[in-house]
A and B are shown apart, each in its own frame.
Chain A
Amino acid sequence: EVQLLESGGGLVQPGGSLRLSCAASGFTFSSYAMSWVRQAPGKGLEWVSTITGGDGTTYYAESVKGRFTISRDNSKNTLSLQMNSLRVEDTAVYYCAKTRGDWSSGWYFDYWGQGILVTVSS
C-alpha cells in the first residue's frame, strides 16, 4: 500500500524559511517522479514543483521559482521542499504526491499524502 506522510509544517513569519519532508513507502520510490501541490484555505489546487525519479530533473511553478527547492533522497525514500523567502500568499496545505506518466500520455498525481499546513503570518 502506497503511503505518503508529510511533516515539517507550521507557522513562520514572512521572509522566513521552512523545510517540508515527505516519507514514502509501499512503492519503488526511486522509479517515480514526485511532486508538491498546495491548496490555500478555501481555494483550489495549485501545482508547486516536480522532480523526476531518474535523473532528478526539477520543475517549478513561476510563483515559487527561485524561492523553493525540491529534492529527494532515494536511499531514505524521502522527498523534501525547502521554502525560503516565504510570503503570506504561500499559506496553504501542502500535499506530497506520487507522480506518474510520461510526456506522450501525460503526467498525473496518482497518490497523495494527507497534507501539511504551512502558515505564513506575522
Chain B
Amino acid sequence: QSVLTQPPSVSGAPGQRVTISCTGSSSNIGAGYAVHWYQQLPGTAPKLLISVNTNRPSGVPDRFSGSKSDTSGSLAISGLQAEDEADYYCQSYDSSLSGWVFGGGTKLTVL
C-alpha cells in the first residue's frame, strides 16, 4: 500500500487528453510538500517529467503538465502519442515517515 495513491491504469486514444491523479494526505502533499512526476518507459530507468508541481525540465514536451491542489497532485498529458505509453509515478516527501515517498504507479496505454 503506497502512501501516495494513483490509479493503476489509464488509457486514451492518440490525440486525446488524459490525467493521472496522485492523492496524498496531511503529512505529505497536504502539508505543502511538492509533487514530482516521473516517466518510466518499458525496460528503462525512470526519467524526471515534472518537478515542484508544475515545472517541466528542458526537453520535456509541453504536452505534459502538472498541478497541485490541497492533498493531491495531477499529471495531464494532451495530444496523446504512442510513445507516451509508459508507467508514471508521483513522488513527494512525508513528514510522518521522515522520508521520500512514491505513488504506486500508473500504466498508461495508448489505444
* A interface residue numbers (CB < 8 A to B): 35, 37, 44-47, 50, 59-62, 95, 101, 105-115
Contact = CB atoms under 8 A, between A and B. Distances in A.
Contacts, number: 67
B67 to A, nearest CB: 15
B45 A44 contact: no
Nearest to A96: B45
Given A44-B105, A45-B89, A110-B57, A101 B45 contact: no
B111 interface: no
B100 A50 contact: yes
A108 B52 contact: yes
Interface size bucket, B side? 20 to 34
Interface of B: 2, 33-36, 38, 40, 44-48, 51-52, 57, 89, 91-93, 97-105
B89 A108 contact: no
Contacts of A107: 93, 100
A109 B91 contact: yes
Contacts of B89: 44-45
A44 B22 CA distance: 14
Contacts of B48: 108-111
18 contacts: A44-B2, A44-B102, A46-B102, A47-B102, A59-B98, A61-B99, A62-B99, A101-B34, A101-B51, A106-B36, A106-B52, A106-B92, A108-B48, A108-B91, A110-B57, A111-B48, A112-B46, A113-B45
Most buried by B among A37, A44, A61, A105: A44
A112 B102 contact: no
Contacts of B97: 62
